[in-house]
Amino acid sequence: MTTRRFALAAVTALAALTLAGCQKSGPEKQAFKGVDLTGAEYARTLNLTDQDGRARSLADFKGKVVVVFFGYTQCPDVCPTTMAEVAEVKRSLGADGEKVQGVFVTIDPERDTGQLLKAYMASFDPSFVALRGSAEQTQAAAKEFKVFYAKVPGKTPETYTMDHTAASFIFDTEGRVRVYARYGSGAQALGDDIKLLLAER
């Protein structure tokens, strides 16, 4: 009786191991390098005016992987580095780069005019879109994305700087926020996550 029980337990354990082995042999879903935001209940809407004065929303970019970044043109480091990395990834993808859209949202509409934003985007990639709104609209957009920003006084009223969240939000081709990419992760990590989203199509 004891022998039979042992044999039955051995067969059951072997079956379980075989089943587990079969389950693991399938393709595993690759993880994002950034923070996975799939299913997040924020960063769902963005309605502002672009550098040419046209009303824009996230729906305008459906079919593309969209990288949204909140910053300002007089930012000395984080903002230009981030936009340069997005441009680098776009170029590295060749033909697939046409499916990547950079979107820059200014947190300094007081100084960032449409003309200035247009020139700023052109310095990275002419296809990039810059968005701006009134102070109230900017606050609402930042709240929707859970983005922090605050004015830091300078030596004169015109020389203030801005503290702000240093990260990008990556949306899939259906317009859903999927990844929170921290500043400093580099173009390679950003590119890997964008490739994963492009592969979902």
Specify binding-site residues.
75, 79, 164
Separation of alpha carbons 15 and 109, rounded Å: 64
Q: Give 116's Cβ-side CA count (13 Å radius).
A: 12
Which residue's structure tokens are 């009134």? 134
Strand extents, DSSP E, the chain: 35-36, 48-50, 55-56, 65-71, 100-106, 129-132, 149-152, 161-164, 167-171, 177-182
Contacts of 56 (CB under 8 A, 6+ apart): 46, 47, 48, 49, 50, 129, 131
Q: Residues marked as binding for Cu cation?
A: 75, 79, 164
Strand partners, 130: 104
- The encoded tokens of residue 18 equal 């075989």
Rounded to the nearest 10°, the torsion over CA 80, 75, 140, 169 is: 30
